[in-house]
Amino acid sequence: AQSVTQLDSQVPVFEEAPVELRCNYSSSVSVYLFWYVQYPNQGLQLLLKYLSGSTLVKGINGFEAEFNKSQTSFHLRKPSVHISDTAEYFCAVSVLYSSASKIIFGSGTRLSIRP
Amino acid sequence: GAVVSQHPSRVICKSGTSVKIECRSLDFQATTMFWYRQFPKQSLMLMATSNEGSKATYEQGVEKDKFLINHASLTLSTLTVTSAHPEDSSFYICSASGPAEAFFGQGTRLTVV
C-alpha cells in the first residue's frame, strides 16, 4: 500500500535562508507525488506535482522538489524563504481508485519563518 | 486545473442537529469523489469514497450512519453529519479527481456547540 512519511513535524528557519522539507514515500507501483500548502485557517493549495518526466519539478512561489526513485524521496526545497511562506506543508501520494486519484497525505510539516 | 466548489465554507450548529455539506465539480464529471477530515493541527484523513449511483465506501473507524454520503449526480456529492456533537467539530474537505491528480474544494469548517 502507498504511504507517505514526513519526518519533520516542525521546521524553523530564518527569513531568506534556504529550506528543505523532507518526504519519503512507500509504493510498490509507479507513483504520482504532490506537495500542498495550507495557510492558517485556509484550504489546500497545490504547490507542485510529479506525474512523469523530469525528476526536478518546479512549482509556485519559488518552490521545487526532486523525485528520487532510488531513495523513494520527494523533498521540497526553496533557496530563500519569506515570512509569507509560514504555513503547513503536506506531501502526498496518489492512489488510483476506479480511474480517480485518491490522495494519501503525510502528517505535515509546519514551516515557521523567523525574521 | 479543474474547479471544485464546496459549500458552506463555515457552519455553526447546535449539538444534536444535522448539517449538510455540498461538493460540486464545476467543469468535469466525477464518478468518484473523496471526503477528508482535518482536526486542528493534524493532517487530512480520508473519511470515505463517494461513488456516483452507488454506496459510499468508508474508511475504517468512520461511522457510516453518522456521516451520510450521497452522490446523486456526476457533479455533486453531499456529506451529511447527522446528530452532530462537539467532537465532530472539524475541517471537512472534498475532492474530485481524474486518474492523475485531485482537485480540492475550499473546505468547510464545522463547529458544533
Condensed to tens digits (0 to 9), the pLDDT of residues B4-51 reads 999 999 999 999 999 999 999 998 888 899 999 999 989 999 999 998
B16 vs A: CB within 8 A: no
How close, in Å, is residue A99 to chain B by CA atoms?
5
Q: Where are the beta strands (DSSP E) in A3-61?
A: 3-5, 10-14, 19-21, 24-26, 33-38, 45-50, 56-58
pLDDT at residue A98 greater than cutoff 80:
no
Written as one letter, the residue type at A21 is: L
Q: What is the pLDDT of residues A41-72, one digit of tens each?
A: 899 999 999 998 899 999 999 999 999 999 99
Determine the Cα–Cα distance for residues B30 and B71; give it in Å rounded to an integer: 10
CA distances to A76, A78, B75 from A68, in Å? 12, 17, 36
Best of A3, A45, A102 to mutate (most B CBs within 10 Å, chain B): A102
Of A99, A58, A42, the C-alpha closest to B102 is A99
Nearest to B43 among A94, A97, A106 (CB): A106
Determine the Cα–Cα distance for residues B90 and B39; give it in Å rounded to an integer: 5
Q: Where are the alpha helices (DSSP H) in chain B?
A: none
**% of chain A exceeding 70 in pLDDT:** 100
Per-residue pLDDT, B89: 97
Quickly state the pLDDT bin for A101 (edges 50, 70, 90): confident
Using the structure block, give the residue that is written with the C-alpha cell 506543508: A89
